[in-house]
Amino acid sequence: MTIDKHPIRTPKGGFGKLSVGIAAAILLLSACAKEQDVNAFVDPTVPADQTYNEALANIDAGNYTQARRKFKKLDRQHPYSEYAKKSGVMSTFIAYRQGDYPEAIAQGKRFVDLYPANKEAPYALYLVGMSHYRQISDVTRDQRSAKNTYRTMNELIERYPDSEYVEDAKRKRRIAKDQLAGQEMLVGRYYQERNEYLAAINRYRGIVEKYEDTRHVEEALARLTESYYALGLTSDAQTAAAVLGHNFPDSQWYRDSYALLEKGGLRPLENQGSWLSRASKLISGA
């Protein structure tokens, strides 16, 4: 086994006993130094409850940074104690409060993975979802955080349906979903403005089929009416307008779509064999 990639050579160029001895001594000193560093941090003689209460006192005093250090220390000193479990949740909470969302996400996911049946697991998962939620940007930018929010809050709802955090998780999931639909609308309008109607239709269709319970579906149906009409696909345009009128009869979007068809001597008329007709049942919840 090679002790050192660059061992000390003897004057004749060989590897002497002195070189091996020095290298071994260096490694031994290094190992001792590392052990001392660890021992300086890990002191199992300090009771777990003492460290935990000190951390809570730091929180009460508003010293979150020191509290985080205490909780990490507790996790290392007493890794299998109930206080270590509590410290995992508290570390997640503090990281979230300090706006260190990547750390909160990592800590929260670790806790849920280790203790999925723990009574604090729903809260830890909720903090993970909220950490993603706080990072959602406007629809013109990347929506990875919105996707992660939706996925995490949905996981919380499905895994812990009786949790006190479920109702807010549903609200945050709905907001994230609306955000994702908003970006699809933005892209759809971009294509439509450039007369790339097929590309626009694909985006609008995705909104109607995947984001049927968001506020954007109403406009998406109107834009489908316009795009199909522009391509001369009058039956599809009539169906889109009919579905829009069925679900949003008092909508300005419906009145505009109706007026557009009327200019061409047409009326909203639903084709029962169209994908739009099937999607209408999803929108109405039928």
In the block, tokens 């959602």 appear at: 136
Mean pLDDT (whole number) for 184-201: 98
Q: How far apart are CA 115 and CA 110, in angstroms?
A: 8
Residue type, 50: Q
Residue 91 has pLDDT above 70, yes or no: yes
Q: How far apart are CA 107 and CA 93, in angstroms?
A: 9
Comparing 1-15, 73-87, 230-244, 246-260, the range with the smallest average pLDDT is 1-15
Query: Do 110 and 88 form a contact (C-beta atoms < 8 A)?
Result: yes
Tens-place pLDDT, residues 113-147: 999 999 999 999 999 999 999 999 999 999 999 99
What residue ranges do the domains of the chain occupy?
1-34
List the alpha helices (DSSP H) in the chain.
17-41, 48-60, 64-77, 82-97, 101-114, 121-133, 144-159, 166-193, 197-210, 217-230, 234-247, 252-263, 275-284
Which tokens belong to 263?
Answer: 């200019």
Question: Rounded to 10 degrees, what is the CA torsion of 236, 238, 242, 248?
Answer: 90
pTM of the model: 0.78
